[in-house]
Structure 1
Amino acid sequence: MKYEGKFGKYGGIFVPELLIPAIEELEEAFYKFKDDEEFMNELHFYLKEFASRPTGLYYAENLSNELGCKIYLKREDLLHTGAHKINNAIGQGLLAKYMGKTELIAETGAGQHGIATAVIGAKLGLKVKIFMGSKDVERQKLNVFRMELSGAEVIPVDMGSKTLKDSINEAFRYWISNLDTSHYLIGTTMGPHPYPSMVKFFQSVIGKEAREQILEKENKLPDTVIACVGGGSNSIGIFSGFVDDEDVDLIGVEAAGDGIDTNEHGATLTKGTEGILHGSLSIVLQDEDGQINDTSSVSAGLDYPGVGPEHAYLQSSGRAKYVPITDKEALNAFRLLCETEGIIPALESSHAVAYAVKYAKQEENKGKTIIVNLSGRGDKDMFTVAKELGVSI
């Protein structure tokens, strides 16, 4: 391997020996093509013409007036397929094509990464297999249908907790059996090197745009950047534009499910310990024997017992702060953004909005300028939200 893929002590490569040749092939291709003019020109073309970048940095005037802060929303929800996931799917899909692969494999929780992979597979002429926990298949039926319409095969996973963790396990198993023809298009900043660095590279467009946009609008950097964290791709993408600016606070918001003190929760960086999960050393939710805990969240995309290794490093170094938000708080924020701005956020993004509300209400934060990464739109969550709110639709 040319690079260690470490963030402090976190990251690295912890995979079966059978996967090492594929990991080495992927590392070589990524570091070659990210500096290749033809590849980058094609990537930028698809980001602009297919995904509709750049996305806006929207001043949420009504919400700002209500909370006493200047709140800007980075509108990743306006992208094709409805979330930031398309940025990385385009990048890795193109990379797979340049590597001569004929099939994309992906895992998905909320379905946004699955849709993004399905549409880029359709665009580039690649077969697509999507592994999805059967629990998530049920609560994200609309997204499953959208994947299938784009030609993808959606494979329900009935093992374990039947959520994102288990779909990742099955995707790895399939990849090991099909290394010559397939590329595993991981959707977040977890996994063995080079995935955390590669996904960050393809998602860094969010941070680059947001930095330029806030300077244009405010003539200064924001005081705080807030984003939700499951595996952590949207957050690492926007954080990357400000991580070198020590005066900008970075806050990652995790899903705490029914509450931080319950047995089932997300909030990996709040409650987890060091461990190895899905190919890298990071912070994970595990018992005293090292067995991975099940998680529970109203948000399928944050329902994951690990986190990308760079987030573990950012927390340990003190550069970023990570906080929990409960299902109830996220649902309240979902409704608040709908009512104040007419914007329907994904439940994942609603966690970030919820903490922005709590943050803005603190007296010492009055008047601050905040960017919230609105990582996705809430169309996919309508039935879940209605059920939680006791509304019949």
Structure 2
Amino acid sequence: MTDHVDPATAPVPTGWRHRVDPRPGLDRVRDSAPAILQIVIAATAAFAFAHYVLGHPAPLLAATVTVSSLGLVRDARPRRVLETVVGMIVGILIAELIVLAAGVGWWQLAITLAVTLVVARFLSAQPAFAIAAAIQSAIVMVIPASVPFIRLIDGIIGGIAALLVTALVPRRPLRAATREGVALLAAFDGAVATLVQALRRGDRVRAERGLEKARALQPLVDEWRVSLESGRAIARISPFLRRERFELERHERVRAHLDLASRNLRVIARRVVYLCDDRQSRPVAADLLSELAAGARLIGESLADISFEPPAREAVRAVAARLDPAALTGGRTGSDHNLLGAMRPLAVDLMTAAGMPAAEARAALPRV
């Protein structure tokens, strides 16, 4: 996993080297390379088929429908691609009908856009659906054609090409899902590390920073969820991704339990903030939380190599076996007792994320 750097102590890049640094751009190109390949292949194939096989003189919409429906977005599920294609076909059909009935002109363009947007908004709750339909209808109105409905055929060809390339030239969703899972676990590790430091020092400011980091985990969880939903949908139709289906399902299991773990970490973080008001060091709680983080790091390693799951389970189980708040606090109740008690569901979530059955994970905790 990637080493965590505390934003409070990280170096701040300055100067012209930072402003002209090509690395962010190169990273974007690398991440989008599969999508770029998909778009190039699909658009070229759709254009070539419409032009050379069907004899269409300028099959612009065969290419534009393909490019717009695939896009560079993370969510490349076949259903999303199909919805976008349908929206654009609706826009083309409406425009073709108005051109046939009323011709081409500025007021015809206004009517076409109005009708397309109304119909598209009625058909779908997604704003992108209506915008895609409107763009294609505007192209039909602005660029004339000698044969009625030839552009509708071009649009259908582009849509078919987009759907075919989604299955036959997949974007390797497991790679993207693994990258986003590792990013989540790195951020999780950073949040825990900050809370551990706060507990060791009795530092409320650092505890509040840890709470902020814990709250920032949810967008990363959601991004991972979108990637996995997209990847699993593609794997169901692609003959080339059958080997990745199991791994994508395993990642979804890890993600679901890490979502719960992130929520429990926020509960722990709020209690750490409250406890640090007295500026007292709490080494026992800090050590336990640090050991749970070590188990979470092994879970991060397991995303790329499943052989890390057993040691991850055992690492967290070893901590869970000691999570008896009454024994750790000498029988006293109070805020320290509640903090240690909040670590129990976190340990269960981490063990289940590492593949342990939920009943066995709960049984690993001491009875209280």
TM range (shorter): under 0.3
- Higher share of residues assigned strand: 1
TM-score (norm 1): 0.21
TM-score (norm 2): 0.23
- Higher share of residues assigned helix: 2
**Greater relative contact order structure (CA < 8 Å, 6+ sep):** 1
Q: Which structure has the larger Rg over C-alpha atoms?
A: 2
